[in-house]
Amino acid sequence: MHQRITRGASAVSVAAAAALLLAACSSDAETEETTSPAADTSASADASADAAAFPVTLDTAMGEVTIESEPQRVVTLGSHEHEYLYSLGVAPVAVPVSWQGYDNGTGPWADADREAAGAEPELFEPGTTTYDAEAIAAFEPDLIVATYPNHEMTQEEYDLLSGIAPVVTRPATDSEGNETVEWGVTLEDELNLLAEATGTTDKAEEIIADIDAQYAEVREAHPEWEGMTSQVGGFYEGQAFVYAASDTRNQFLANLGLDVTAVEGTDAAWLQISAEQLDTAIGDLDSVVWQVATTPDAQGELEALPLFDSLTATETGGNVWLTDTVLEGAFFANSPSSIAYSIEGFVPLLEAALDGDPATEPAAAE
């Protein structure tokens, strides 16, 4: 499905922008003697490069979508897309409220990127089961981004939102040509898609190279982690659970050199594990990162499960209790700005958890 979207309202916006541009050019001419020719040349070159990137057609999970010109009013619908845009120097006009209650819709790890992008977005409640198209339309977006949405978008919702502006969902395939799954796209693939949508591909390449270098530094420092098994889990409605190997949190652990594919049945987004199956499902894992920051009672409930003491991770001190809400938020975000924060917080915990000595069982991350 190839979708090319045009909007009458966009023509008005373009006309208004053109008028402002003409006024700005007139003002610039009057003050030409105070303007640096070198700066003008650089700005002109950047503008030309951005313009050359459009129109662009993107292959997304909901079909092909064409973006005719550089977006000026971007609205994001998910929990971390705005952080990706900040890293690219793009300032969305509206983003969802933070699930952790942070100002500007994001955690402290992304503040520097947000400020550098000059972003002061309006906040809105995106809805947990349906999107409020009327509220989204009120921001007059020329691009809507939902690459990591808070719920799986239906075709009806997509069609409705597409009547407002082009909608970019996750890429249809990953860098290896495989079909992507909801909430399982890699940082690299998501960032590259958003860079194409905003004309910032050069910046994306720099960011990815820097992140790769950060991960490589950790792997080089810990070659003993290669082949060791780990998973991210928690406790919900009386049962333990683990996330899919493709989940962004498990992607982070994999990038540190750990094997997160050892649990069968994690093709779905998450796998609930009954108390009776705890040892057979995750019993042999070298480490389990338990997310309990926002559910502090979960640690005691997990430890009280009859088979919890028989887990390899329990016997060797390999359980990591993630009780720091900020670190949990950065871990969940898996955005360019959160990686360094997560590495700094996790590496000491994993060093203690994976040494095989229960006496050095890591303290809770606080």
The domain boundary, picked from 180, 207, 234, lies at 207
Strands annotated E in 68-172:
74-76, 94-96, 122-124, 143-146, 167-169
Q: Is 124 a domain residue?
A: yes
pLDDT at 26 (0 to 100): 38
pLDDT tens by residue, 20-75: 333 333 334 343 444 444 444 444 445 544 668 899 999 999 999 999 999 999 99
Q: Is the pLDDT of residue 18 over 70?
A: no
Specify if 309 maps to a domain: yes
Residue 216 covered by a domain? no
User: Do 23 and 169 reside in the same domain of the chain?
Assistant: yes
229: DSSP letter: B
- Asked if the peptide bond before residue 37 counts as cis, ω within 30 degrees of 0, the response is no
- 156 and 274 belong to one structural domain: no
What is the structure's pLDDT at 264?
75
What confidence score (pLDDT) does residue 290 get?
A: 97
CATH number for 256:
3.40.50.1980
Tell me the pLDDT of the chain averaged across its residues: 86
Residue 33, pLDDT score: 41
> Of 153, 173, 207, which marks where a domain is finished?
207
Helix (H, G, I), strand (E, B) or coil at 297: coil
What distances in angstroms separate CA 78 from CA 192, 356, 359, 363, one per listed residue?
17, 38, 41, 32
Which amino acid, residue 37? P
- 330 within domain boundaries: yes
Lowest mean pLDDT among 99-103, 130-134, 181-185, 205-209: 99-103
**How many domains in the chain?**
2
Is pLDDT at 146 greater than 70 in this prediction? yes
Residues 104 and 176 in one domain: yes
pLDDT at position 115, please? 97
Q: Are 270 and 248 in contact (CB under 8 A)?
A: no
227 with 174, same domain? no
80-90 mean pLDDT: 97
Predicted confidence (pLDDT) at residue 202 exceeds the cutoff of 60: yes
Three-class DSSP category at 351: helix
Give the structural domain span for 331.
223-360
Look at residue 59 in the predicted model and tell me its pLDDT.
98
pLDDT at residue 4 in the model: 28
Instruction: Using the predicted structure, report yes or no on whether residue 327 has a pLDDT greater than 80.
Output: yes
- The verdict on residue 92 lying in a domain is yes
Helix axis angle, 248-255 to 336-353, nearest 10°: 60
Q: What is the pLDDT of residue 362?
A: 52
pLDDT in tens, 255-313: 999 999 988 765 667 889 999 999 999 999 999 999 999 899 999 999 999 999 999 99
Query: What is the structure's pLDDT at 103?
Result: 87
Listed residues 207, 235, 254: the one ending a domain: 207
Query: Strand 239-243 and strand 270-273: pairing?
Result: antiparallel
The pLDDT, as a whole number, for residue 360 is 78
- Considering the domain architecture, whether residues 106 and 147 belong to the same structural domain is answered as yes
Q: Name the pTM for this structure.
A: 0.84
Both 250 and 334 in one domain: the answer is yes
Say yes or no: 156 and 63 in one domain. yes
Question: Do 247 and 110 share a structural domain?
Answer: no
Is position 214 within any domain? no
At 89, the pLDDT band (50, 70, 90 cuts) reads: very high
Q: Are strands 287-291 and 319-322 parallel, antiparallel or unpaired?
A: parallel
Considering the domain boundaries, does residue 141 fall inside one? yes
Say whether both 181 and 125 belong to one domain.
Answer: yes
Least confident piece of the model among 7-21, 49-63, 76-90, 337-351? 7-21
Q: Is residue 171 located within the same domain as residue 235?
A: no
Question: Does 271 share its domain with 348?
Answer: yes
Mean pLDDT calculated for residue range 153-172: 97
Assigned domain for 213 exists: no
Domain match, 189 and 230 both:
no
**For residue 267, what pLDDT is reported?**
63
